[in-house]
Chains A and B, each alone.
Chain A
Amino acid sequence: MQHRHLLPNEIDLLLDEDSGFGVQPLREHVRGCPDCRARLAEAQEVVAALDEVPLFSPPVGLADRVMNQVPVFVPWHVAARDAVIRWTPASPAARALAAALVAVVGSLVTGLTLWIATRGDMFAMFTGLLGEQARSTVTDAVGEVIVAMFGPQVVMAVQQIGPLGIALAGGGFLIASLATVLGLRLIATSSRARS
């Protein structure tokens, strides 16, 4: 190591206080070479100045300004866990009471569900009856409204033309409505442009 001066990257190794393989001979060389010692000292001065460069204080209220623009998103599982924690009573006695209450209500609901399940046929029959009743009520009411609005002749005509006719009539109505809306919009736009 005595036959040449240190290369710039070798000076860098010493500056970074690297302890890797091969650094010890460089240190020994520096001890015996005034030129390299001067170069290293010069480089160390710059590094020392850099190491003393201070941090600057940011503006007061930066956190508030940032948080005003950041949407805080709470994942559903965290929200659920928080809700459980929040609604769990703090004292052990209240916690035991709440657990007992949950057990009683849970047992009742489970028992009721099982009872309904074992009587599936009866439940289906009652549901069917109620559904049929509701459907006939709604159909009658709608029929009466149509008769009141358009008269019995229209209703009869509609019954005669069947679903295709109803679809065609509905389509015609939609096209007519759309044309009316567009026409009105065109008139409004042109009158605004004139004014």
Chain B
Amino acid sequence: MTPIPVLDLANLPDADVVALAQQGREPAYRELIRRYERPVFSLVYRMVRDRELAEDLTQDTFVKVLTHIEKYRAEFKFSSWLFKIANNVAIDHLRRRQLDTVSMEGSPHATSADIAEATSFELATQTESPLQELEARELGSEIERAISRLRPEYRSCILLRHVEDKSYEEIAATLDLPLGTVKTYIHRARHELRKLLEHVREGGPGPPAEEPA
């Protein structure tokens, strides 16, 4: 009997590895995960700023992508498709979380301030666990803090542009946005980052802490 030939997957371009995955080759699935687990995890982590949650969302992203690998069309870059799903997963989570946050501020149907106060609740002050301390250190640099204060759509664009080194056209394809919108978002994101980092250049105490979107 002749064994099935083993390919050197690490040296193949994405398109070939995806084609092998579409043929049901498990090593090709694993190679795609190996190639993109760090970038995808980094993007999602910076979007949601919670390591444990980012791990779950990264896992969900890969499960979604690889379960539907046969639907991938070769005319798009695989990485664009993957980042689009990762971004959607993160944005969906942020939207759900935003709804939860609103509910903490009291009933949306409250007709007076008293009723709103009566239906609201506050989060108890929490001491940071060692894991949270680690996260705070990881995401604690000035630039990371500034990124976290950007609107989610600006954040996705700026991370894809500067961390993933994507072109404007690729970002537009990844996020399903018009090219002009991507340019505007990146321009505004850079502008906001400049403002947020002004105190670093001036040696000031920095802007007050804010809950990221």
Binding site for B on A (CB under 8 A): 8-9, 12, 15-16, 42-43, 45-47, 49-51, 53-59, 62-63, 65-67, 69-75, 78-79, 82, 85-90
Which B residues, 135 to 193, have Cβ-Cβ distances below 8 Å to chain A?
138, 142-144, 147, 158-159, 161-163, 168, 183, 186-187, 190-191, 193
| Contact indicator A47/B197 (Cβ below 8 Å) | no
Q: Compute the total of residue contacts between A and B using a CB distance below 8 Å.
A: 117
Name the prevailing secondary structure of the B interface residues: helix
Interface residue B14 (Cβ < 8 Å from any Cβ of A) = no
Which of A49, A75, A79, A82 has a CB less than 8 Å from the CB of B197? A49
Q: Is A66's CB under 8 angstroms from B144's CB?
A: no
Q: How far is the CB of A48 from chain B (nearest CB, A)?
A: 10
- Report yes or no: B41 in contact with A58, Cβ–Cβ below 8 A: yes
Cα–Cα, bound, A42→B196 (Å): 12
A97 to chain B, nearest CB (A): 14
CA distance A49 to B147 in the complex (A): 11
Q: Which residues of A contact B72 (CB under 8 A)?
A: none
For B183, what are the chain A residues with a Cβ–Cβ distance below 8 Å? 9, 12
B-chain residues with CB within 8 Å of residue A69 when the two chains form the complex: 59, 63, 67
**9-residue interface stretch from B28-36, B95-103, B112-120:** B28-36
Give every chain A residue within 8 A of B201 (Cβ-Cβ): 42, 45
10 interchain residue pairs of minimum CB distance:
A74-B24, A50-B162, A58-B41, A66-B62, A63-B33, A49-B143, A55-B42, A58-B37, A70-B66, A55-B38
* Contact of A53 with B147 at beta-carbon distance under 8 Å, contacts A42-B194, A46-B194, A75-B24 already known: yes
Closest beta carbon of chain A to B25's beta carbon, Å: 8
Contact of A78 among B23, B159, B163, B191 (CB under 8 A): B23
A50 & B23 in contact (Cβ 8 Å cutoff): no
